[in-house]
Structure 1
Amino acid sequence: MPHRSSRVTSRWQAALILGLFGLAVATSAAVGWRYARRSSPHLGPLVLLSVDGLRTDRLAAYGGGDGSTPAIDALAAESLVFERAYAHTTQTLPSHASLFTGTLPPAHGVRNDVGFSLGREARTLAELLDARGFDTGGAVSSPLLGPDSGLNQGFTVYETSLEADAAAGAVTTMRDGELTIDAIEPWVEGQQDQRFFLFAHVDAGPADAALGRLVDLLKDKGFYDDATILVVGAHGDLSGDDPLAERAVRVPFIVKQPDAAGAGRRVAEPVQQVDVVPTILDLVRAPTPDGLAGRSLRAVLDGEDLEPPPSGIYSESMAAHFRLGRPPYVALLRDGVRYVRTENERLEAVDEARPADVPPTVLDEFRRSADRLRTGPGTRTPADIPEALADRGASLGWLDMLQPPVTSEPAMTTRESSALLRELSGAALLAAGHQYGGAAERLGHVVGRYPWLAPAWYELGQVLLRAGRTPDAVRAFHAATTARPDDAEASVALAWALLRDGQA
């Protein structure tokens, strides 16, 4: 009798175990099914459109606009709109390096529009998607993003040719955005399935027409409904004297999902350019590399809430540093407050509910955090502009530069440095058009006001050499070495000019 009771108990235990196992399997299947529905990999086209200089307050989606951007407005109506998105730099090339790598400028090392390029060791978004079987095509409107920039890594097609300017002697610096879309159209037309990544870069002026052209192209091919389209600003409005004003780094960030999922939703929490790479990788369920500065926004696209970035949002402006020897300009947004350091430092309340009047200990923490983010493994000095690219650099407003000084130089206001950068860029543009007399005159006015400014003397010497005025160039380079006796580049330039003048 005890044996029979034991057998009954064993059968009962076995049944219980099988029942619990079945319940666990069913529960796991249900959870897995729900997870799979929520997180299934993206199968349609991925499209990234970057726009230089597009201000949010010019768009209806951000509470502005005058009806002049119907294509952007129409896309935004079918999209999720991030109300507060920020760029990490005020320059085109470094911004795109962050967009493509998901890392900050101090990490990827591209700190200025000229003199820098993305290193081969960087892993770009195009490379990561290519490894997942995506065809990759890109087209850009500026020579700043050409093959020498390093941004073409991972692209099967990377269209960079610029239309010749009709004006005699003029140098084309920006292709019309519609022509950029036309240039990549054959590649899009040749796509046999939807597994492709398309990148296009345009300037703010023709951005709406270019986006309209792009949307029409995708619709004609039957790709639009299934596509995920991201429109992200490269940098904001740079017309003012404050290089890190919020309008200079605040950019549009609009995401149209397949079948317009989430259309009309708005996200108030701040996001940043480095969020693009982890978000796209998450959409296709690709592994995320270590060392990315951003976070995936996929959960937000799926309807969940977004927490603020834990380290804040870092931005920098290095043009005055590399060209004028000014201190690096940096900003850090965190907890509704922006810390900005240019020639001086200030705090700005971005969120009206959080005043910028913070204790000194918090200000010290902002300083330390900004300094920690400003330095990184990619920190390096700019390379010289090759002679073969001198005219292209000048057409973009840049002549060959001295390295930033080791020691501090006389104080200058941010307004002064911004005005000086505009004057130097204007002189470079004149030089690009071979108007060397005008360029030299403009630079002469600069050194007349700032005789201690070695970079201006150095640029003046370059222009005078191009004009064939070698004795005058010798005097300019001599003034540069007087202003910076320890600068090797100025000394080498002086020696070269003396050789050309027959004095050495």
Structure 2
Amino acid sequence: RQPLSQASGVKVDINAVPEIGPFKRRPKNVILVSVESLSADYLGTYGNKENLTPYLDKLAKESLVFDRIFATGTRTVRGLDALSLGTPPIPGQAIVHRPDNEHLATVGEFLEAQNFHTFFIYGGYGVFDNMNAYFRGNDYHVIDRTDFDASTIQAENVWGVDDESLFNNSISQFDAVASSQKPFFAHIMTTSNHRPYTFPEGKIDLPQGNRAGAVKYTDYAIGQLIENAKTKPWFKDTLFIIVADHCSSAAGKTKLPVAKYHIPLFFYAPDMLPAGHYTRMASQIDITPTILDLLGAKGGHHFFGQTLFEKTETQIAPRAFISNYQELGYYKNDTLIVLSPKQKAEAYQVDAVTMESTPTSMNETLLNEAIAYYQTASRAFKMGALKESENLNP
């Protein structure tokens, strides 16, 4: 693929020192926690009144909270594409599922080539959805539930181990790497907020077997992760990114209800990042280049997304990409373009506050942008232009 600077027409110096935005200094390590099915509307920070996320709501006051971030899809694999490869959701199957998906220009490939230890750690069986093969093929050190000692697991079900056990096993890995002084990047994928919604007894004040209890337990487990990490010597040099893979449901009155793609995103690094709110709209695919830029690593301009801290004069206009198993959406300027099979296209006006959509006349400029993004991403994968060898050097 071309660098974003070429593909978008925005003039960017790809050899410039990457921006760090509001950070006081660069993090040495990044821990990215992608939380299963954590819709923004479960969090008090985003308006929920049920007190399902007391720890995250407390953490929000110490974090940079992103107010308007949108997931690319409705399945975990779409979130994994976005958070590893930074691509819009290409038509058909997710790239994680596809053949010839090894050695792509992923966060793992870029960072491993620049002397980082890179992890993908999953609480379930990584053979599911081809996760193990995809991440191993892209230079991540893959760890899943089969690698956890039985004595370290508090509870488990068919979907995965409890999130606390996942996080505790992850921290053991980070301790080992940090003792060697090597920087690390870790992508942790949780499972507790998924059917059958079971978790260890005695942790929270809600019963098992339902979504509300699972959300509150996941919140509790994230709290245990952060509090445990605070005791570690590597904590002060580490950025924690907490984001959802997708929302819990995409059902709505329209094919692609925008509100059902609204996900939480926190950047937490109290020693180097002041708390606050980031109000500009952005996409899940913008997280990947941001990670590379914050770490001072090469490769950030070779993603379809753009770093969240790009200088004002070189920022692209805010936009988001959303999809389901058939439709592809392009959300920009309060307008949603929906591309459907058989070359069908529709346009909707989106209320900036409620995110409700109403049909409107087609905006040809936005339609052409939508088609260009999705066709370019699909063609780039098919033609091998997403391979690391095509992208690591300017």
Using the size of structure 2 for normalisation, the TM-score is 0.70
Give the aligned partner of residue 15 of structure 1: none
SS in 2 for 1:310: coil
Equivalent of 2:170 in 170, 177, 184:
184
For residue 284 of structure 1, report the CA deviation from its aligned partner.
Answer: 1.6
Give the aligned partner of residue 389 of structure 2: none
For residue 338 of structure 1, report the CA deviation from its aligned partner.
Answer: 2.2
- Contact map agreement 2:40 2:46 (CA 8 A) in 1: yes
- Contact map agreement 2:95 2:101 (CA 8 A) in 1: no
Q: Identity rate of aligned residues, in percent?
A: 21
C-alpha separation between the residues in 2 aligned to 1:175 and 1:113? 26
C-alpha separation between the residues in 1 aligned to 2:301 and 2:113? 16
Say how many residue pairs are matched.
325
Give the aligned partner of residue 348 of structure 1: 349
Change (3 A) 1:138 1:366: same
For residue 121 of structure 1, report the CA deviation from its aligned partner.
Answer: 3.6
For residue 228 of structure 1, report the CA deviation from its aligned partner.
Answer: 0.9
C-alpha separation between the residues in 1 aligned to 2:356 and 2:143? 46
Change (3 A) 1:64 1:357: closer
RMSD, aligned α-carbons: 3.7
Using the size of structure 1 for normalisation, the TM-score is 0.56
- Contact map agreement 1:236 1:247 (CA 8 A) in 2: no
For residue 294 of structure 1, report the CA deviation from its aligned partner.
Answer: 0.9
Equivalent of 1:238 in 236, 249, 257:
249
Give the aligned partner of residue 134 of structure 2: 150
For residue 218 of structure 1, report the CA deviation from its aligned partner.
Answer: 1.2
For residue 137 of structure 1, report the CA deviation from its aligned partner.
Answer: 2.5
- Contact map agreement 2:72 2:82 (CA 8 A) in 1: yes
1 or 2 for the larger relative contact order (CA 8 Å, sep ≥6)?
2
Please say if 1:122 is aligned against 2:101. no
- Contact map agreement 1:95 1:234 (CA 8 A) in 2: yes
1:56-455 aligned within 5 A = 56-106=40-90, 111-112=93-94, 115-116=97-98, 119-142=101-124, 143=126, 144=128, 147-152=131-136, 153-161=138-146, 172-190=158-176, 191-192=178-179, 193=181, 195-203=183-191, 204=193, 205=214, 206-238=217-249, 240=251, 244-259=256-271, 261-263=273-275, 265-288=276-299, 291-298=302-309, 309-310=316-317, 312-318=319-325, 328-341=326-339, 345-351=346-352, 360=361, 362=363, 364-375=364-375, 376-377=378-379
Larger helix fraction of residues: 1
For residue 74 of structure 1, report the CA deviation from its aligned partner.
Answer: 2.5
Letter in 1 for 2:367: R
C-alpha separation between the residues in 1 aligned to 2:33 and 2:362? 41
Structure number with larger C-alpha Rg: 1
Q: Structure 2: which 5+ residue stretches go unaligned?
A: 1-18, 151-155, 194-213, 383-394
SS in 2 for 1:220: coil
For residue 293 of structure 1, report the CA deviation from its aligned partner.
Answer: 0.9
For residue 83 of structure 1, report the CA deviation from its aligned partner.
Answer: 0.5
Q: Structure 1: which 5+ residue stretches go unaligned?
A: 1-34, 165-169, 319-327, 381-504
For residue 146 of structure 1, report the CA deviation from its aligned partner.
Answer: 5.3
- Contact map agreement 2:30 2:186 (CA 8 A) in 1: yes
Change (3 A) 1:306 1:55: farther
Change (3 A) 1:258 1:114: closer
SS in 2 for 1:331: strand
Letter in 2 for 1:71: Y
1:447-492 residue CA offsets vs partner (Å, 9 max, x unmatched): xxxxxxxxxxxxxxxxxxxxxxxxxxxxxxxxxxxxxxxxxxxxxx
For residue 283 of structure 1, report the CA deviation from its aligned partner.
Answer: 0.9
C-alpha separation between the residues in 1 aligned to 2:286 and 2:236? 24
C-alpha separation between the residues in 2 aligned to 1:171 and 1:39? 40
- Contact map agreement 1:110 1:116 (CA 8 A) in 2: no
Change (3 A) 1:312 1:345: same
